[in-house]
């Protein structure tokens, strides 16, 4: 490798700028621009190609719309009503409040598509509920909220799956369907772990909800419960595209919160728009930087060189998936998930195709790996978010999260080595892959 080549210099610049604290999206833009300048590329033509490609790519519009939908749910009273409904279902069991935490994450997974939105929204409320009266330690409540939020982008809709579809051309609709069984599997193992710990540590039992109150609680939560049904129904019946469904999700959350629940003020509405814009801008800059850098990587023929290298290793499809899992799990400890998805994963896709690995199956494996990175130290973005919310030391949160992380790795191994756990439902609904 020529360390004085334009590509090497761009990598050095990106690394230095990121180390100095510049957002990785901006660092990639600077490094990639330097590469284009040193190679004598026509900046105007390159910019025109990118703009033309992005103007016709409506998939990316789904990202800010799902973020906006999550914000409307968080500032409205949808979260509180759904938590009350979850309490009806599992609150009466030992450790019931911990089980509610898992169940509400499954329900919210069908709405926001973002693990961070789930943790920062309903997670804050669950933290307060679980620690009230000393029923659970702050670290355990924070750890549970972090690991349950991971399920959000696995069960549809999913912002990471939208980004994976962007770099792989896999079907978003079938990716969404493929995430259902793995997400429920992961949640089921989490609930099993809570049940085991509840008996060992004698977790409290919540007061059962009187039977006369159950119909009222269900009716009040029904409009919120219908949101994932409407959203996913429109996608899978072909009424809307995933991007249109994201807009529908935001509109539905706003109408329900304003008209039925009367829980969003003008100030809260403005704050939702402002918060969503900030989050969308951050993700947008990362996408922009990654797309330009991927253009540079393609010019340098890096994906083909890696494909040839991996082919020379004579890997079987199973061996390749094991290698990808190891690489992504290690990278997830130190890198942000979106950056991995947009920069690293495209390099693996040609090899996956050459080995005959289904891209929908591969996409779910990739997304689960990246979600695991949100709760693995030292980076573990969800760990830091819950540290800020709970005030518990991050080491205590990591300690309480380890049993759940173990079961999440077990889930990853199951979906990696048994592709039918991912592909069964899509094929049932017409997928030909």
Write out the two tokens for 375. 């709760």
Whether 249 contacts 227, CB under 8 Å: yes
pTM: 0.78
Q: What's the pLDDT score for residue 373?
A: 85
> Counting beta carbons within 10 angstroms of the beta carbon of residue 204, is it exposed (0 to 12), middle (13 to 18) or buried (19 or more)?
middle
Structure tokens at 379: 């980076």
Query: What whole-number distance in Å separates Cα of residue 153 and Cα of residue 183?
Result: 9
Comparing CA positions, the residue from 327, 343, 318 lying closest to residue 418 is: 318
User: DSSP H helical segments within 61-179, as ranges?
Assistant: 62-75, 78-90, 96-109, 115-120, 122-131, 138-149, 159-168, 172-178
Per-residue b or e along 46-67, where b marks 16 or more CB atoms closer than 10 Å to that residue's CB: beeeeeeeeeeeeebbbbbbbb
> Exposed (0-12), middle (13-18) or buried (19+): which is 344, by Cβ within 10 Å?
middle
For the chain, give the longest Cα–Cα distance.
75
The tokens for 238 are 């072909």
Query: DSSP E strands: which ranges in 285-369?
Result: none
Distance in angstroms (rounded) separating the CA atoms of residues 16 and 27: 9
Residue pLDDT, tens place only, 116-158: 666 666 666 777 778 877 778 999 989 998 898 888 888 887 8
Decide: 363 and 185 in contact? Cβ < 8 Å: no
Query: Got the DSSP string for 167-235?
Result: HH---HHHHHHHTHHHHHHHHHHHHHHHHHHHHHHTPPBPPPPPGGGHHHHHHHHHHHHHHHHHHHHHH
Cβ–Cβ under 8 Å, residues 69 and 256: no
**What is the rounded radius of gyration, in angstroms, for the C-alpha atoms of the chain?**
22
- Mapped onto helix, strand or coil, the DSSP state of residue 95 is coil
Identify the H or E element spanning 364: helix 359-373
Look up tokens 């793995």; give the residue: 182
Query: Tokens 């990808």 label which residue?
Result: 324
The torsion defined by the Cα of 291, 294, 295 and 299, in degrees rounded to 10, comes to 180
Could you tell me which of 28, 39, 29 has the C-alpha nearest to residue 6?
39
pLDDT at 332: 80
Give the pLDDT confidence score for residue 116 in this predicted structure. Answer: 67
pLDDT for residue 111: 62
What is the pLDDT, as a whole number, of residue 343? Answer: 81
Residues in the chain with pLDDT values less than 70 = 1-3, 49-59, 90-91, 109-114, 116-124, 334, 378-379
Q: What is residue 94's DSSP assignment?
A: B
**Residue 237, CB-side half-sphere exposure with 13 Å CA sphere:** 8
Residues 201-245 pLDDT 10s: 888 777 777 878 888 888 888 887 888 777 778 877 778 877 888
> Is 240 exposed, middle or buried, given 0-12, 13-18 or 19+ CB atoms closer than 10 A?
middle
Measured at the CA of 433, the angle between CA 245 and CA 150, to 5 degrees, comes to 50
In this structure, the dihedral spanned by the alpha carbons of residues 96, 116, 152 and 185, taken in order and rounded to 10 degrees, is: -60
């Amino acid at each position: 490798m020529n360390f004085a080549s334009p590509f090497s210099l761009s990598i050095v610049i990106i690394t230095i700028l990121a180390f100095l604290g510049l957002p990785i999206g901006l660092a990639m833009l600077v490094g990639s621009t330097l590469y284009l300048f040193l190679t004598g590329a026509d900046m105007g033509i390159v910019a025109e190609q990118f703009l033309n490609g992005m103007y016709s790519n409506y998939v990316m519009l789904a990202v800010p719309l799902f973020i906006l939908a999550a914000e409307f749910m968080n500032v409205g009273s949808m979260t509180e009503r759904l938590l009350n409904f979850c309490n009806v279902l599992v609150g009466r069991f030992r450790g019931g409040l911990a089980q509610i935490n898992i169940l509400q994450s499954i329900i919210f997974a069908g709405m926001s598509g973002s693990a961070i939105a789930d943790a920062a929204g309903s997670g804050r409320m669950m933290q307060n509920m679980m620690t009230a009266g000393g029923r659970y330690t702050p670290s355990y409540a924070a750890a549970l909220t972090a690991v349950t939020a991971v399920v959000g982008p696995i069960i549809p809709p999913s912002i990471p799956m939208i980004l994976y579809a962007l770099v792989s051309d896999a079907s978003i609709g079938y990716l969404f369907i493929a995430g259902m069984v793995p997400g429920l599997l992961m949640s089921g193992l989490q609930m099993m772990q809570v049940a085991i710990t509840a008996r060992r540590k004698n977790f409290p039992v919540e007061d059962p909800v009187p039977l006369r109150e159950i119909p009222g609680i269900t009716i009040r939560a029904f409009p919120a419960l219908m949101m994932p049904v409407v959203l996913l129904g429109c996608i899978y019946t072909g009424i809307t595209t995933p991007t249109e469904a994201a807009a529908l999700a935001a509109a539905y959350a706003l109408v329900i919160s304003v008209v039925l629940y009367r829980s969003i003020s003008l100030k809260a509405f403005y704050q939702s728009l402002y918060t969503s814009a900030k989050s969308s801008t951050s993700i947008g800059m990362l996408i922009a930087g990654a797309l330009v850098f991927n253009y540079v990587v393609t010019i340098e023929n890096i994906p083909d060189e890696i494909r040839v290298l991996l082919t020379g290793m004579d890997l079987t499809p199973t061996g390749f998936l094991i290698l990808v899992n190891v690489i992504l799990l290690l990278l997830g400890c130190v890198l942000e998930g979106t950056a991995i998805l947009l920069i690293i994963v495209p390099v693996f896709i040609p090899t996956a195709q050459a080995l005959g690995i289904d891209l929908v199956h591969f996409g779910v494996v990739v997304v689960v790996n990246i979600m695991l990175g949100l709760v693995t130290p030292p980076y573990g973005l969800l760990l830091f978010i819950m540290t800020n919310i709970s005030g518990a030391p991050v080491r205590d949160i990591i300690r309480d999260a380890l049993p759940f992380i173990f079961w999440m790795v077990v889930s990853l191994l199951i979906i990696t080595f048994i592709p039918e756990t991912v592909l069964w439902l899509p094929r049932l609904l017409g997928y030909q892959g």
